Structure 1
């Protein structure tokens, strides 16, 4: 059984190839059982254990089984550790033989960024040139690179609560030959952005619907509990909304919170990312207006990414 480090995953994946792989996965009949959440109580802290299985459709000639195990410990920041850590196990779909274990954090940032860019490929204006990245965590540079691979971005702004964190992302992107700038005026940047991608731990809305210009595309990733929000209900009500899965209606922040509070109705959601990839729904708003994608993360994305790393690493 092989172990794939973060560096090996980086070497095996690229945008937009992974975006294409995810599009195929969302068009397939891969199996995604509900993910399980377990509360973990520890002295002075609490955490969550998530188990996310998936496997290839029976019709696939070469199938795989995969499971991601993720821990979320809210006090890890005080220990100088990531709040989210995990691993991914890939198995042969015909025999159940374990094939590889992957760095779960690295696989997650790749597949999450690819899913957001996949949605943008369908929903964002084809001429989108200005992107605002809200948040400066591990996902930020991957989201920039993913969106940049599907739209002709020429102006990329990074905003974070700590300006030095935004500067660090700008420097990291510069080392890869990508020009970006740190921003301090969140509202001003949001009012002119073609694509706004949010990956934060915010508990109150950072993006307000009345800021968004008519053709903006809003990408919401960070709010993964009902205590978190990145955009207000006005943003949802002004936009054509697509979610990565039906789970977004009942868990995670933003959409689920607005529905719970009576500020937004689930029947206004246009559909899922699978619907987009299958051509069941159109991507852009009919009037060329605002679009919004809410991601909560689905296990078929992890399986697709792990499979891509595995197959790209096999001898020719």
Structure 2
């Protein structure tokens, strides 16, 4: 029996270096926006993140997310280990792989560095949400955190808003100052602050990109009109936002079922009656599609609660696999499953 085209497709390994060659900010934005829209318009079939808690720092776990996109040829799953303390040891906190399957006979066709893919898609999704919700003239951005995602959020958000000033806070002031120095060398007016409250003052956009298990951002500090991307906490036991922040902000999420089970500060606020589910404006993809509201005024405090959803991983993985094949990149492996 002759082999089908799907059966003839090579099994490709795409490592960090290949992904860096294939990716651009424009491609990351396009994939992130497409995935967020598909999450809300029904094109994506997916489930909430499944985690197995592991010993160690709060948030340490084995994580699995999976999705199928009706308009893409490959479906798949991302399996990661999440070790929040890795940054202190010079390693990424998210390490693992995305495995892709073709839809004709379900054969595995690709294995992709999941940590590098996650790094690109997380910051790109924040940029898409920021473009939808922040004030267009936003020029000052605060970062609570100074790791890989802080760097990536500067790169992405400065492409869609005229960011000139950076205000940086982290638990180690010396490290925050070193990070600010690197950003000054890159052309930004960057300053490190001893307290998070000082760093938040005067910001137009704020990104929480920490591995903290307890809140680092108080809603009492938020100036009118600010947009917040809450990115760092991805399991219910960790939270970067306090209750005042949840209550003061208009909140959009990436995937409502995930937010209602994994966004610890939202789950707790709803469970205790501090807010109701109607306090959440909806999914950011629905706002992009026009089926949910966006920012209502220049004074409104908007917040994008990012958890990362499987559709983002599989949308980007499809792009990487197809582009790698077109350009002859990646390592082809004999893997006759």
TM-score w.r.t. the length of structure 2 is 0.83
- 8 Å contact kept, 2:210–2:232: yes
Counterparts of 1:1-316 in structure 2 under 5 Å?
Answer: 1-28=11-38, 29-40=43-54, 48-57=61-70, 60=71, 62-73=72-83, 82-170=92-180, 173=183, 177-179=186-188, 181-184=190-193, 185-246=195-256, 247-286=258-297, 288-315=299-326
Q: Cα RMSD between the aligned structures?
A: 2.6
TM-score w.r.t. the length of structure 1 is 0.88
Q: Gapped runs of 5+ residues in structure 2?
A: 1-10, 328-337
CA distance in 2, matches of 1:75, 1:145: 24
CA distance in 2, matches of 1:157, 1:235: 19
- 3-state secondary structure, aligned to 1:99: strand
> How far apart are residue 233 of structure 1 and its match?
1.6
> How far apart are residue 118 of structure 1 and its match?
1.0
1:164/1:313 CA distance change after superposition, 3 Å: farther
1:189-241: CA deviation from partner (whole Å, max 9, x where unpaired): 21200000001122332221121111100110112233322122212222211
Q: Gapped runs of 5+ residues in structure 1?
A: none
Give the greater-gyration-radius structure (CA).
Answer: 2
- 3-state secondary structure, aligned to 1:115: helix
CA distance in 1, matches of 2:199, 2:173: 15
CA distance in 1, matches of 2:147, 2:190: 15
- 8 Å contact kept, 2:183–2:190: no
> How far apart are residue 186 of structure 1 and its match?
2.3
- 8 Å contact kept, 1:22–1:305: yes
- 3-state secondary structure, aligned to 1:126: coil
- 8 Å contact kept, 2:19–2:116: yes
- 3-state secondary structure, aligned to 2:64: strand
- 3-state secondary structure, aligned to 2:97: strand
Larger relative contact order (C-alpha < 8 A, sep ≥ 6)? 2
CA distance in 2, matches of 1:45, 1:254: 15
- 3-state secondary structure, aligned to 1:125: coil
CA distance in 2, matches of 1:228, 1:45: 7
- 3-state secondary structure, aligned to 1:113: helix
- 8 Å contact kept, 1:39–1:47: yes
1:41/1:156 CA distance change after superposition, 3 Å: closer
Number of equivalenced pairs: 311
Bigger share in helix: 2
- 8 Å contact kept, 2:69–2:315: no
CA distance in 2, matches of 1:78, 1:156: 23
> How far apart are residue 254 of structure 1 and its match?
2.5
